[in-house]
Amino acid sequence: MKSYLRWYGVLTLFVIVAISYVDRINISVLITDPDFLRHIDLAPTDRGRQGLLATAFMIGYGLSAFFFTPFCAALFGVRKSLIGGLVLWGVVTAVSPLFHSYGLLLASRILLGVSEGPLFSLAASYIKAHFESQENGKPNSFVNMGTGLGLAIGYPFIGYMLSAYQWEASFHVLGALNIIVGIPLVLAFVRMPVSLTSAASRPGSVGEAMTRIGGIVRGALHTRHLVLVTVLTSAALAYLWGSSNWLPAYLKEVRGFSIKEMGWLASLPQYALVLAVLAGGVLIDRIERRRVPVIFVVASVGVALSVLMTITVSNPYVAAGCLIAANFFWGLQSPAIPSTVQYLSRPEHTASAFGVVNGTGSLVAGFMPALMGSVISATSAGGAAGAASGFFAGFALLIGTQVVVLLCGIVLWWHENRGSGNVAFSAQSA
């Protein structure tokens, strides 16, 4: 493939990731709408069950990333797996308004998570196949920029849909986007090298399929520092999911912003995240590979201090500014995660290795919205001051996630800078 054509695939994955993140935070905005809460018979003060809606998505997402990714890699390949996921993803989103109970909506969020689960692993496999280790920072950053752009667009977009139309409209529009935009882009621009495409062709028998899947899983589990990177990823994603899920309610109920103000204020930290992800990708390609873990160390300290200032300052606009800073620091560490997995794994095992890392991380992080909701409910009292104290306790959990990232980053840096630990499989065979 010509060097410029491979970037069309990266940009396609960027667009798909952006749409997926609008889907993910749709519920976090809708829970501020009384009509939506009445539709699913959910009390406005029931923070635990509200947070569980996001957790349900992450449970399905994590299990899918962990268990389905090897099947996708072995049986279907990147291209077919993306198309199948987009079809399921679009249908589930479009029909979600038909569910008239909390339990059915919860089930639909799990199914939506299942359909999106392999996405980042498939993206990692595509990048591994088309980019050398020393140049994968920028393509990883572009794909991960979809995270921030999806959140940045999603908050005001869903807020606008709520103010201009009924809440059901957001589900219908997002379902159509997945199918009308995502599938044609994949068909046009996502191509894998012939050698890997042949390896991922349909096996001749069930036994051959299971043997191939088993080999991929075993290879992925032999990736260096897999447990360490998985713990780090779990903590990093816990911050992203906890903050993105409760940000709209925090801005509206604690800081006193209106629905429209909440939409654009919630989007500003996400634009900062987009810029930081790009900066992080450029930085990865400019520094020695063994120094990349320093990014985790510095960025985690920045996130923790910014969140602490967010919940302690009195001025609401200063608090919003601190949230922008927190997301900027988080964005710096984002592309370093897939870049590290690609560096430490073999090309044929990258999708599954990242499935283990991202799947386990998503499962762990998926409990953060529900955990924060429970803490917020347990520590809130009556009135605005009581709500503020609840959110203070809930957001304090986000600081704890960054302590874990800091410690993992230090250990990973130590391993990578030892004399015997600098040779990675991917550096030999990328």
pLDDT tier for residue 299 given thresholds of 50, 70 and 90: very high
Cα(409)–Cα(401) distance, rounded to whole angstroms?
12
**For range 100-112, the mean pLDDT:** 87
**For range 399-416, the mean pLDDT:** 91
What is the domain extent for residue 24?
5-429
pLDDT value at 212 more than 90: no
Cβ contact 151:369 at 8 Å: no
**For range 196-200, the mean pLDDT:** 48
Cα(206)–Cα(75) distance, rounded to whole angstroms?
10
CA 233-238-241 angle, 5° bins: 120
**For range 88-97, the mean pLDDT:** 89
**Nearest by Cα to 385 from 314, 310, 279, 306:** 314
pLDDT value at 414 more than 80: yes
pLDDT value at 425 more than 80: no
pLDDT value at 17 more than 80: yes
Is the sign of the CA dihedral 415, 418, 421, 424 positive or negative? positive
**Stronger pLDDT, 420 or 111, i.e. the higher one:** 111
pLDDT tier for residue 421 given thresholds of 50, 70 and 90: very low
**Cβ–Cβ contacts within 10 Å for residue 280, how many?**
29
pLDDT tier for residue 198 given thresholds of 50, 70 and 90: very low
pLDDT value at 2 more than 90: no
pLDDT at 424: 44
Q: Give me the helices (H) in 165-258, please.
A: 168-177, 183-189, 194-199, 206-221, 226-249
**For range 400-427, the mean pLDDT:** 75
pLDDT value at 401 more than 70: yes
**What CATH number does the domain containing 127 carry?**
1.20.1250.20
pLDDT at 220: 65
pLDDT at 423: 45
Cβ contact 377:146 at 8 Å: no
**Stronger pLDDT, 13 or 122, i.e. the higher one:** 13
Number of domains observed in the structure of the chain: 1
pLDDT tier for residue 118 given thresholds of 50, 70 and 90: confident
pLDDT value at 429 more than 70: no
pLDDT value at 12 more than 90: yes
**Nearest by Cα to 199 from 37, 364, 73, 42:** 73
Percentage of residues in the chain having pLDDT higher than 70? 83
Average pLDDT, the chain: 80
Q: Give me the helices (H) in 31-96, please.
A: 34-39, 47-63, 69-71, 77-95
pLDDT at 31: 80
pLDDT at 323: 86
The whole-angstrom distance between residue 26's C-alpha and the CA centroid of its chain comes to: 14
**For range 412-430, the mean pLDDT:** 58
Per-residue pLDDT tens digits for 28-54: 778 878 888 888 888 877 877 887 887
149-163, 330-344, 412-426: least confidently modelled range:
412-426
pLDDT at 158: 84
330-334, 347-351, 371-375: least confidently modelled range:
347-351
pLDDT value at 199 more than 50: no
**Maximum mean pLDDT: which of 140-144, 258-262, 325-329:** 325-329
Percentage of residues in the chain having pLDDT higher than 90? 15
pLDDT value at 235 more than 90: yes
pLDDT at 74: 62
Per-residue pLDDT tens digits for 242-255: 887 777 777 777 77
**Cβ–Cβ contacts within 10 Å for residue 360, how many?**
21
**For range 373-398, the mean pLDDT:** 74
pLDDT value at 357 more than 90: no
pLDDT at 261: 66
pLDDT value at 383 more than 90: no
pLDDT at 232: 93
